[in-house]
Amino acid sequence: MDLSGELAGPFRWDLVTPDQLGSLLDGVAAPDLWFLDGLVGCAGKVVARSGGGDLVFVGRSLDSMFDFLSGAFAGLPDPQRLGRLPLSFARTSWSARGWVTHALAAGDVTRAREFLAALEITPDSLARRSRPVTFVDVVWKGSTFTDVFELVRGWVDDERGSWPVLRRKLRFVGVTMRTKTSPKTWRWQQHVPWTAQLPASAVVNVSLSRGVWSYFGDNQTKLTRTFRPEQWRAEADGPGRDERTRVALAEAVTLVAHGRSRTGRHALARAIAGAPALSEPWLRTLVRQLNHG
């Protein structure tokens, strides 16, 4: 599911068929994938807990997981589809009352729906889906997932869609920072009311170590610019060619290649092994395909 050419979003290379790169990586050192084991283990759990849905990565934080899985799924018969919803919903400003989060303007909602439609996520297409749509993102307090849910739910209401049917076509997998668990552990989904509108199994979490979570969520150089509401209707930008972008591109290309390799596919299969969802035929089939890849 690729938005390029359909909407004026931030440019990002197609790294599965990277015929656009030319000499961009000439002279760039091989990346240090110090986070690889954590990424692969987390990706396996995300897939296992996705309900067999097509995975839509929100924003930029988990681009590395998107890249790795793009390689791992390439060439498989009837794989889960992967997509990126590149929107950032950040819209806070400082006032005399402190930080204020502004509501999305009507034009912003319309534009966001266009991005969803390009990914074949509309009330009508959801009703026809055989697979659910599974949104994936790093999560702290769940504000981005709240925006995505309200965007879809509002659209269903506007189109007078059948919510009892469509609610079963939506899933959310949050990648959270790993902490010690206890009965008092703060869990984001227990503090946002909209999760009660979905089946209990539709909102799940996968934990990631603090260092890797912070790298992806806060520190990693991304291949695309951030894409806040005030930029959603801007003209498309071109590829970056500065040194930081080239280093980030080398990292992304290497992750796709690792996903395509036997080593990477077998590692993903091992990360899925033992998941309760292995009782479901779709996941057993995927593991078998990865092990024979």
pLDDT value at 23 more than 90: no
Residues 211-250: tens digit of each pLDDT:
999 999 999 999 998 999 999 988 778 888 899 999 999 9
| Backbone region of residue 143 per phi and psi (left: phi > 0; alpha: psi in -120 to 50; beta: other values) | alpha
DSSP state of 53: P
Dump pLDDT digits (tens) for 52-89.
999 999 999 999 999 999 999 999 998 899 999 999 99
Provide the pLDDT for residue 230.
92
Coil, strand or helix at 115: helix
Structure confidence at residue 246 (pLDDT): 94
Q: Residue 174 pLDDT > 80, yes or no?
A: yes
Q: What is the mean pLDDT of the chain?
A: 92
What pLDDT, on a 0 to 100 scale, did the predictor assign at position 6? 56
Task: Give the other-Cβ count within 10 Å of 6's Cβ.
Answer: 12
Alpha carbons 3 and 142: distance in angstroms, whole number: 25
Assess whether pLDDT exceeds 80 at residue 96: no
Provide the pLDDT for residue 138. Answer: 98
Distance CA 19, CA 233 (A): 28
Q: Which two tokens stand for residue 186?
A: 């703060």
- Mind listing the pLDDT tens digit for each residue in 192-222? 999 999 999 999 999 999 999 999 999 999 9
**Confidence band, pLDDT 50/70/90 cuts, at residue 97:** confident
Percentage of residues in the chain having pLDDT higher than 90? 80
What is the structure's pLDDT at 259? 98
- pLDDT value, residue 17: 83
pLDDT per residue as tens digits for the range 127-161 = 999 999 999 999 999 999 999 999 999 999 999 99
Give the C-alpha separation, 12 to 207, whole Å.
27
